[in-house]
């Protein structure tokens, strides 16, 4: 029951994605320690931290590529960590893009983007073809539809991988260091696309070392250290004036490495 003087409109909407005390170990190596995080619809959350801090594992757990040892992950209110949940059906609602493009080299760009709608979702081939063409136009690669991946630059291949994820109309996009394999001059074209997706209301969780991008686009920045969220807040707070010394050390080292 609502409190007197309040209305349903006053209540904050439920998060699209909610993690509660998520833990994950590989043998004796504890990779995630009681990670809790809420992501609102349309929000962009950027994960930062050193290699081995748990960022990629966290994304893989959200997409059920890794099963959590403890804790709960809810997507649009559904407990997707329940072992009775159909993992494939859940993954169909989430787009995930890795630093390695994972495109099929023997297929054209268009066929790569069409593959999941046809094979996984059972969409009519001609409908899938039309959707794929629209998505390639969306990412600026309509003229590359008949090319094969090895004829594209790294930035173009990564945009194809993003188009392949987007064509399934996901509730949520997960992006795992999508610029780390790119030459510096190609990073901007991928980040510009992500910035456009954010402006269109796509909910995103991504990890990156591109602090400039995090400052401009993130709603929330989470610094992971030792498998837990060590500091969390706005980009201005976490990147501009972090409260924790461990966060300050990471940012100083990152700036030194990039100088």
pLDDT digits (tens, 9 = 90+) for 186-211: 888 889 999 999 999 999 999 998 89
Residues facing 223 on adjacent strands: 48, 231
* pTM of the model as a whole: 0.90
**pLDDT at residue 10 in the model:** 57
Nearest to 26 by CA among 54, 1, 47, 55: 54
pLDDT above 50: residue 2: no
In angstroms, the Cα distances linking 214 to 46, 207, 243 are 6, 9, 18
Q: What radius of gyration do the chain's Cα atoms show?
A: 19
Task: Enumerate the domain spans of the chain.
Answer: 8-93+171-258, 105-170
In this structure, which topology does domain 8-93+171-258 adopt according to CATH? Rossmann fold (3.40.50)
pLDDT above 60: residue 108: yes
Residue 147 burial by Cβ neighbours in a 10 Å radius (0-12, 13-18, 19+) = middle
Residue that wins the pLDDT comparison between 258 and 174: 174
Distance, CA of 256 to CA of 24 (rounded, Å)? 31
Mean pLDDT, to the nearest integer, of 208-221? 92
Distance, CA of 39 to CA of 24 (rounded, Å)? 20
């Amino acid at each position: 029951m609502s409190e007197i003087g309040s209305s349903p409109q006053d209540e904050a909407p439920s998060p699209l994605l909610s993690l509660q005390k998520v833990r994950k170990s590989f043998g004796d190596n504890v990779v995630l320690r009681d990670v809790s995080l809420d992501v609102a619809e349309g929000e962009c959350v950027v994960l930062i931290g050193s290699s081995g801090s748990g960022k990629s594992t966290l994304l893989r757990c959200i997409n059920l590529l890794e099963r959590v040892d403890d804790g709960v992950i809810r997507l649009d209110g559904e407990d997707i960590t329940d072992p009775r949940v159909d993992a494939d059906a859940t993954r169909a609602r989430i787009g995930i893009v890795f630093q390695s493009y994972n495109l099929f080299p023997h297929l054209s760009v268009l066929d790569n983007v069409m593959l999941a709608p046809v094979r996984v979702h059972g969409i009519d081939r001609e409908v899938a073809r039309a959707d794929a063409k629209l998505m390639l136009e969306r990412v600026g690669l309509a003229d590359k539809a008949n090319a094969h991946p090895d004829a594209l630059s790294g930035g173009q291949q990564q945009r194809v991988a993003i188009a392949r994820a987007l064509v399934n109309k996901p509730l949520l996009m997960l992006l795992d260091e999508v610029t780390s394999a790119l030459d510096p001059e190609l990073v901007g074209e991928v980040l510009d696309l992500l910035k456009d997706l954010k402006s269109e209301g796509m909910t995103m969780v991504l990890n990156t070392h591109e602090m400039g991008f995090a400052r401009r686009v993130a709603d929330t920045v989470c610094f992971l250290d030792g498998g837990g969220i060590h500091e969390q807040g706005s980009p201005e707070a976490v990147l501009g004036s972090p409260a924790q010394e461990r966060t300050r050390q990471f940012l100083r080292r990152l700036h030194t490495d990039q100088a």
